[in-house]
């Protein structure tokens, strides 16, 4: 908890102004929340949840920076973060593409890992990867084509195709785990 508080103070005072470090801090904050939550309920967090949380938060943070770059190009009434000067649209788009691939591969490896198979008693979780891939592709479409990556939570709430993909992923997982 102390590390999380120190990270937030450092981020708020200086680190948010340093390109790449800013998004790493945001992503590390999500991982620290997982660790604090796990500690609070006396559960040892799985390395997959830590890795996937970090990667997905990093992906979404870069999407947010991309949105900031797009907005700054439109001269949107000074809503520009100073850290944006350390990014370019091409750089952030490339990083997002790489991270999307890594997130997908990590998810597939998670579903195929012996510990996941043993814990859930099925080799079929890998089939849920289809929905994860579709969700990431849809998010990238929203980001690259429609320029709508500013608020990941708003996108998830407002975008009907992404909601459908998420619901189908949940239904798929429930079916695999509970319908034998």
Q: Which tens digit of pLDDT belongs to each residue from 22-58?
A: 999 999 999 999 999 999 999 999 999 999 999 999 9
- Give residue 52's Cα distance to chain centre: 8
Number of domains in the chain: 1
Long-range CB contacts (within 8 A, 24+) of 2-5: 3/32, 4/29, 4/32, 4/33, 4/36
Long-range CB contacts (within 8 A, 24+) of 157-162: 162/135, 162/138
pLDDT of residue 75: 56
Q: Above pLDDT 70, what percent of the chain?
A: 96
Mean pLDDT of 79-93: 86
Structural domain harbouring 118: 2-178
- Give residue 167's Cα distance to chain centre: 17
């Amino acid at each position: 908890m102390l590390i999380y508080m120190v990270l937030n103070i450092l981020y708020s005072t200086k680190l948010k102004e340093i390109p790449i470090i800013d998004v790493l801090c945001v992503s590390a904050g999500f991982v620290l929340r997982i660790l604090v939550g796990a500690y609070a309920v006396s559960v040892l967090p799985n390395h997959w949840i830590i890795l996937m949380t970090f990667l997905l938060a990093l992906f979404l943070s870069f999407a947010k920076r991309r949105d900031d770059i797009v907005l700054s190009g439109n001269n949107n009434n000074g809503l520009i973060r100073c850290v944006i000067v350390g990014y370019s649209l091409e750089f952030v788009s490339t990083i997002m593409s790489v991270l999307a691939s890594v997130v997908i591969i990590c998810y597939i490896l998670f579903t195929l890992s012996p510990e996941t198979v043993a814990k859930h008693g099925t080799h079929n979780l890998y089939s849920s990867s289809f929905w994860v891939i579709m969700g990431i592709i849809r998010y990238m479409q929203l980001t690259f084509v429609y320029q709508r990556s500013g608020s990941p939570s708003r996108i998830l709430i407002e975008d009907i195709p992404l909601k459908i993909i998420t619901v189908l992923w949940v239904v798929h997982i429930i079916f695999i785990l509970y319908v034998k």
